[in-house]
Structure 1
Amino acid sequence: MAKYNRPQIIQFFISLISLTLFSLTMSGVAHAEGNCPPGYYPVGGQGVQGCAPIPNYGSSGGYSAPSYRTPSTEGYVASGTNGVIGVATAKIFRGKLEEKALQACEKKGGTDCRIWFTYDDNHCATVGQAEGTNRLYKARTTAGEVSDVVPMLVPGSRKALGRKKVLEACRYDGYPETQCKIIYEDCRRLNLP
């Protein structure tokens, strides 16, 4: 049997205690993630708590098989240099939607219409305008977006958050609250797997 001297035994126990404390500390870090299940992270602010999926969780970074979901929907918003917008929404047929949004913009009298932004499942699109000007504002909000003001799971909260962002941007540019108007809103349905 090997004989150990006192300093070696003390060093062994110090190492063992250090390892135990380190393990306990690390397990506390894992639980500090808001008690969300594996593959999810905590979201929310003061009093609002929830869990959202971690993007690409569990993927090795290589090829992943396509996920089969119900067909998605999309919206295209085109804007003209004179502050006119045109919108097209439908099931996914990208080329046709772009064309329809541009045509809708031109039909309303838009000049030099171009695709301004798009949105799809789980998004709300909000467009505002400083009344009497060509100045447009946009917001695209998602179901997973967190706000301390608007809880994400309250019905209509994505739309409310979009309105808030657009109106704040308009007021930030110096327009009075009475001049900042919402001219378009749409929420694509929540498409969960």
Structure 2
Amino acid sequence: MRARVCFALLLGAMAVMGTAHAEGGCPSGMYPIGGQGVRGCAPIPGASAGQGGASPPAPPRPTGRWHDAWGAIAHSRSTSLVGTATAETSRLSAERTALKKCAVEGAHDCTVVMTYSNQCFAWVVPGVVGPGTQSGMAQAPTLEEATELAQKECRDGAGDACKPFYSDCAEPTFERF
């Protein structure tokens, strides 16, 4: 009989130990806090969300959104008129604005020669025009890079560096919530 009672006590103790808590009486993923008779548990920073019932941190909330900016260049071969657009909200809007500005003085053959978004644009032209000359256009993240790339495309009749004709940066804007 005595052996049965000891065995029952042993089983009871094991059952209670199965629900035992970590150091200081706190569940897994928590640590004891307090002192002077006041005790509690706090979550361990970086502890797994599945332990101790701690919930995962909330994902970061956006503070705003970026809006693309578009630019375009339209050109008339017959009149050499040019139309530009910058800081437009869409490619179509930029192209329409550039074409409209090109045609405002009577050009009827304006075509879009370049569109760019969230970048800079540079157009350089030869100082001396003649056979084999051509202007250069380029877009890049910075105005310096765009100008350098445009210079590489340009051919001047005298072999000199081409002259800046037009440049712009269509920079995106941030809208805060």
User: What TM-score comes out, normalization by structure 1 length?
Assistant: 0.46
Task: Report the TM-score when normalising by structure 2.
Answer: 0.50
Larger % of helix: which?
1
Bigger Rg, structure 1 or 2: 2
Q: Hey, which of these two has a bigger chunk of strand by percent?
A: 2
